[in-house]
């Protein structure tokens, strides 16, 4: 029973990360009717920006020493006597890294947002009025441009970045059996969930959210109502890149940093197709289902079988519901 709970929790935590990444794809599609195949590589760039601001920049000569390692007297006193790998030592190490973690997050969010504006203005906006297929193929081409650029700017080596939260083991007992988690995974789960819920509230209750939903419903009518549709497109790309920057930092701290990190976006595309390209609720449900199924498949059959779970599940769902679990079917009148 303990193993069931263990892998169930692992699946839910992975599902929350899937949902955070998928929300960017859905926000772009709801505004532009374009599926961004390059979203995984935008996330990869966000991870590299986090690496630049959290690892490379703090070590520069012109940066203050406290950015690279912040150790005030009270923190040294707190850390004194802490056993290695204990929660106390892990929290002290995280607090010491906090300035560069904050610098890394702020820098990655700003730079990724600027990258999204550049992509939308330079590649997407000139294609306005063209078929959706041409815009989708443009995002496919961006995959190789972004992956090659990352290898040229940084390197193809695997690097490590500081986690967003303290990293120590958490053990608790359920049904007389012990369950094991890492605290950094719990922090990542909470961050992903808060961002997902926050974005849903923004889209539902703010003027910008109403503009996005109106544009998604009918671009021509949105123009007639005075909505700046190109600005909505830019906003959607910026939102996707911003959430992607945080997701990239989480992925890099968990899996390591390399240009192949962008391939994670292909699994998320399966999540979006399964949930419904225009449904945030459907994507959240699909994220949790795929995350849990992946965890249990890894437990029973191994990691190589878990990798194909998203694609098998999305195939089965599309055969049953072509628009996804909660996607809306478009009705064309003749």
- Taking only the tens place, the pLDDT of each residue in 119-168 is 999 988 888 777 778 888 899 999 989 888 888 888 767 778 899 989 88
Judge contact between 266 and 35, C-beta under 8 A: no
Say whether pLDDT at 334 is over 50: no
The pTM (predicted TM-score) of the whole model is 0.90
For 260-302, the pLDDT digits (tens) are 788 887 788 888 988 888 788 888 999 999 999 988 888 888 7
Q: Among 3.30.40, 1.20.120, 1.10.3470, 3.40.630, name the CATH number for the domain at 2-320.
A: 1.10.3470
Average of per-residue pLDDT values in the chain: 85
């Amino acid at each position: 029973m303990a193993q069931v709970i263990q892998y169930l929790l692992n699946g839910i935590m992975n599902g929350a990360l899937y949902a955070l990444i998928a929300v960017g794809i859905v926000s772009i599609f709801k505004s532009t009717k374009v599926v961004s195949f390059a979203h995984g590589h935008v996330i990869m760039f966000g991870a590299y920006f986090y690496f630049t601001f959290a690892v490379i920049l703090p070590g520069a000569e012109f940066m203050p020493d406290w950015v690279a390692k912040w150790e005030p007297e009270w923190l040294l006193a707190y850390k004194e006597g802490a056993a290695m790998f204990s929660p106390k030592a892990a929290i002290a190490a995280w607090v010491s890294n906090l300035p560069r973690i904050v610098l890394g997050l702020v820098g990655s969010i700003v730079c990724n947002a600027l990258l999204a504006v550049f992509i939308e203005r330079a590649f997407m906006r000139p294609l306005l009025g063209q078929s959706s297929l041409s815009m989708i193929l443009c995002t496919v081409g961006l995959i190789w441009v972004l992956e090659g650029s990352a290898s040229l700017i940084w390197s193809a080596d695997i690097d490590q970045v500081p986690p967003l939260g303290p990293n120590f083991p958490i053990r608790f007992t359920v049904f007389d059996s012990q369950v094991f988690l890492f605290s950094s995974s719990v922090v990542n789960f909470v961050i992903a969930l808060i961002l997902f819920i926050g974005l849903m509230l923004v889209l539902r209750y703010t003027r910008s959210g109403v503009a996005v939903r109106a544009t998604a419903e009918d671009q021509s009518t949105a123009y007639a109502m005075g909505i700046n549709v190109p600005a909505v497109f830019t906003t959607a790309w910026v939102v996707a890149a911003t959430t992607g920057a945080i997701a990239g930092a989480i992925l890099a701290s968990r899996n390591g940093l390399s240009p192949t990190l962008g391939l994670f976006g292909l699994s998320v595309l399966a999540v979006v197709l399964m949930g419904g390209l225009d449904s945030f609720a459907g994507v959240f449900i699909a994220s949790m289902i795929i995350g849990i199924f992946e965890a249990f498949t890894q437990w029973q059959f191994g990691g190589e079988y878990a990798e194909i779970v998203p694609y098998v599940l999305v195939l089965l769902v599309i055969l049953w519901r072509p628009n996804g679990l909660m996607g809306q079917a478009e009705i064309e009148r003749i």
